[in-house]
Amino acid sequence: MMKLNSGEKTLLVGFPSNGLVGTFSISYLIHYLKMNKIDEIQINDLPPTVFVEDGEILAPIRAYGKNNLFVIISDVPLDQFLAIEFVQSIHKFCKKHLIKKIIIVSGMETINKQVKTPKIYGLSTHLSMDEVLYKNQIPKFLDGSIFGTDAIIISVFKKTKIPILFLYAECHPYFPDLTASIAAITTLAKVLDVKIDTTDIQKKIEHLRIQHRNLMEETTRTLRQQQEKQTRNPQIYR
């Protein structure tokens, strides 16, 4: 398992996607582990936007760190052009901080809309990360198509020595899916070998769904625009 205090530096990445799984999971981890904000990621073509949280003004894309664990989180959906700059920024961050591994949490549209216990599937860009899937009994993502930001990340980092592990949680694509996010957080905690209590997020499920309704609508529009540019079925599926 990857340990929070291990010698190898690990980067987690989260951004709005299906069910907002990446956004919820990584945001919760930042707060639960009390990670420190260490940087703001600038993207030239991103419309001027700031967020306010507990009186603190925050940039839409930020970096956090604690010990040998780092995080980059985006609170805004990324179209194709913004995604390219976003991935380039991740690569620069990795070189600056000597990152050895990257884990990305995202949502995977499921055919079964009534799924009660979301499954987590793993996809790695390098064989070295398959051991992590095996040790944590995470089934591999075997068939389907990947588009948008995920595809750009894969295209860029497959050419580097930095391996990436994608953790895809089955989710509803058009609504904030807190159940899938909790499953993703639990799996991520196992992979990182840290204890994370999800009681707080379970108590606030309905509130968080309502609070993030607008972000989900923006994300859905962005994902649909990306889908329309594909020549064949672009959905991630099992």
- 176-218 pLDDT, tens digit per residue, is 888 899 999 999 999 999 988 888 766 655 555 545 566 666 6
Residue closest to 102 by CA, chosen among 86, 125, 83, 80 = 125
Residue 1 pLDDT > 60, yes or no? no
Between CA 182 and CA 188, with CA 185 as vertex, the angle to 5 degrees is 150
Per-residue b or e along 202-219, where b marks 16 or more CB atoms closer than 10 Å to that residue's CB = eeeeeebbeebeebbeeb
- 46-84 pLDDT, tens digit per residue, is 777 766 777 777 888 999 999 999 999 998 888 888 899
pTM (predicted TM-score): 0.83
* Distance in angstroms (rounded) separating the CA atoms of residues 126 and 134: 14
CATH topology of domain 10-228: Rossmann fold (3.40.50)
Tell the residue number behind the tokens 């799996």, with chain if given.
187
* Distance in angstroms (rounded) separating the CA atoms of residues 153 and 168: 15
* Distance in angstroms (rounded) separating the CA atoms of residues 63 and 36: 9
